Amino acid sequence: MNENIKDHDRIEKAFEITKIKQVGNISMKTNHYHDDYEIYYLLDGKRHYFIKDKVYDIKKGDLVFVEKNEIHKTFDAGAPYHQRILITFKKSYLNNILVEAKNYDLLSCFHGNANVLRLKTDEQKSIESLLSKMLYEDTHQVDSSSIFLKMMLTEFLILVERLLKNAPSYHIETTNLTHKRISEIITYINKNYGENLTLEFLSKRFFISTYYLSRTFKKVTGLNLNQYVNTIRIKAAEKLLFSTELNITNISEKVGYRSITHFGRAFKSITGVSPLKYKKILS
């Protein structure tokens, strides 16, 4: 079974909002990335949230913003249950509004350095009220629901942008030493994916046993080390296929593969198509 991680099999929806309560030690089996922007609001409980190369300790009243195609995963933080609201949407969903707001960055919450906004009690009430209206409208659809949901999402993003401007600087990144060490290793991988990044090399560089690194890396990211390295390399290859005229062999070498066959196999495993087909789709 393919354990990787780009959601190329998901049903394409321009906008989706869901509310879920889960009981027990629930963790996403793998981390993943997708073409949607994602907003995660924790109504109750505690979670760990891994985004790109950091782990955040999330609690009730926290808003999490995940840029499209950013690797992320939530996992258990020891709470008996948690309840969250999740919004995902494609940039195209707001195209007309983004054109109107050309001098205003409506998506600024995804572009800054803060992935998490810790809300005050009164701010939580405002956000939860708006989210409740969106959930109700989504589950009680009438002719005007589509445009009303779009208007409410726009209002939500403007409200969040204003809250972020005035937000104090909270230390939300994890204080767990194991998670911090894995974050350091992930940062290194993200910057040096073109190198020969083996388990043995990284364990020596960061003075960790191969067993400990392998076990804790999987726990935090949901992937083994080799799967994660492949994912970062393929993400980089996707960008190069989109933005350059480099041929597939050159791209394969540039992102760290010594074998074009291995590159092709990894690319298809993660994206669902071969590099050549991906390039044809883009053209």
Identify the CATH number of the domain in which residue 203 sits: 1.10.10.60
What are 81-91's pLDDT values in tens digits? Answer: 999 999 999 99
Q: Residue 10's pLDDT is what?
A: 47
In a domain, 8, yes or no: no
Same domain, 100 and 222: no
Instruction: Give the pLDDT band (50/70/90) at residue 214.
Output: very high
Residue after which a domain boundary falls, among 134, 166, 198: 166
Choice among 8-17, 188-197, 247-256 with the minimum mean pLDDT: 8-17
**How close are the terminal C-alpha atoms of the chain, in Å?**
31
Q: From 272, 274, 277, 281, select the one nearest 8 (Cα to Cα).
A: 272
In a domain, 117, yes or no: yes
Per-residue pLDDT, averaged over 52-79, amounts to: 91
Same domain, 186 and 244: yes
Average pLDDT taken over every residue of the chain: 90
In a domain, 161, yes or no: yes
Range of the domain at 116: 15-166
Query: Which residues on adjacent β-strands are paired with residue 57?
Result: 48
In a domain, 56, yes or no: yes
> Helix or strand or coil: residue 43?
strand
- Residue 24's Cβ-count burial label (10 Å; 0-12, 13-18, 19+) is exposed
In a domain, 159, yes or no: yes
Instruction: Give the pLDDT band (50/70/90) at residue 219.
Output: confident
Q: Residue 30's pLDDT is what?
A: 59
Q: Residue 215's pLDDT is what?
A: 93
Residue after which a domain boundary falls, among 111, 134, 166: 166
Q: Residue 131's pLDDT is what?
A: 98
In a domain, 139, yes or no: yes
Q: Residue 29's pLDDT is what?
A: 60
In a domain, 233, yes or no: yes
In a domain, 258, yes or no: yes
